[in-house]
Amino acid sequence: MSVTALMQKPDLNRQLKVKWSRGKSVKTELKKDNLTERAWQRMLSGRRLDILNPSPLDIEIEDIAHGLARVSRWNGQTRGKHSFSVAQHSVMVERLVRGNAPKLDQKWFLAALLHDAPEYVIGDMITPFKHVIGGVYHEIEARLDRAVNIRFGLPPIIPDSVKRTIKRADRMAGWLEATQLAGFSKQEALKIFIKPAGTPANIRLRPQTPDDAAASFLRRFSILGGYKKQMK
């Protein structure tokens, strides 16, 4: 399957319905205009990534690491001198996946490290807001996800069994972040978040500087063979 066939442009004239908590709904329409036709971002590597129709060839791991290290989890509402970044979260999720499923093929550990990679361009929205935005956000996120996977030698679509393993680790990480950094008591967190069985009690989180978080992310990427697997 060619990259071109995988990355077809979304239907920009599709109407989307967004439901609000007050029981009302509004229709929004993505109109084809100059902005949607030039929906690309220039990266520090010099690449220009089309966010609506991303090409794997325009994705560089250094851009991902730099971006994720500067995207805050929990909208920045965490304790510490520095925010807890998506890069640091991603490294923790990969660590948890290795602990939970040590016999997985190494490529799936790489998939765990890259599970939030699209956020280097679209940011990390808190879950309730993602639900409000709905389809258009998830559509763009999925296109970026496929492009990242192809770029680094992974299947465009990660198998469901692997997704579940990564999601379990992601929820573990979310619980640890919520109760150690984001101000939730354990009692409050139990009402809102899922705490998977086996969530480690011995991990203590310390937010890193952006440079340190990016370096840790790139170190794990290298150890997992990411540079060897990326498409040329």
- Quick: pLDDT tens for 49-88: 999 999 999 999 999 999 999 999 999 999 999 999 999 9
Rg over CA atoms, the chain: 18
Q: Do 113 and 104 contact (CB within 8 A), yes or no?
A: no
* Interval 197-226 mean pLDDT: 97
Over residues 87-96, the mean pLDDT reads 98
Taking residues 175-188, report their average pLDDT: 98
User: What's the rounded mean pLDDT across residues 115-130?
Assistant: 90
- pLDDT, tens digit, for every residue of 10-52? 443 343 333 333 334 334 444 555 555 678 999 999 999 999 9
Contact yes or no for 159/135 (Cβ under 8 A):
no
Cα of first residue to Cα of last residue in the chain, in angstroms, is 16
pLDDT digits (tens, 9 = 90+) for 137-157: 889 999 999 999 999 999 999
Least Cα distance to 203 among 168, 175, 167 occurs for 175
The predicted pLDDT at position 32 comes to 54
Using CB atoms within 10 A of its CB, is residue 92 exposed (0-12), middle (13-18) or buried (19+)? buried
Q: What's the whole-number mean pLDDT along residues 113-140?
A: 88
Domains within the chain, CATH numbers bracketed: 36-226 (1.10.3210.10)
Closest CA to 58 of 134, 5, 7, 1: 7
pLDDT of residue 25: 38
CA dist., res. 208 & res. 119, Å (int): 18
Q: What is the pLDDT of residue 26?
A: 38
Give the model's pLDDT for residue 229: 82
Q: How confident is the model at residue 134 (pLDDT cuts 50, 70, 90)?
A: confident
Report pLDDT for 137.
86
Percent of the chain with pLDDT over 70: 84
Q: Is the pLDDT confidence value at 158 over 70? A: yes
- Region for 126 from its dihedrals, namely left if φ exceeds 0, alpha if ψ lies in -120 to 50, beta otherwise: beta
User: Is residue 42 a contact partner of residue 191, using CB atoms and an 8 Å limit?
Assistant: no
Q: Give the whole-number percent of the chain exceeding pLDDT 90.
A: 75
What's the pLDDT score for residue 1?
Answer: 43
pLDDT at 99: 97
State yes or no: pLDDT of 131 exceeds 90: no
pLDDT tops 50 at residue 2: no
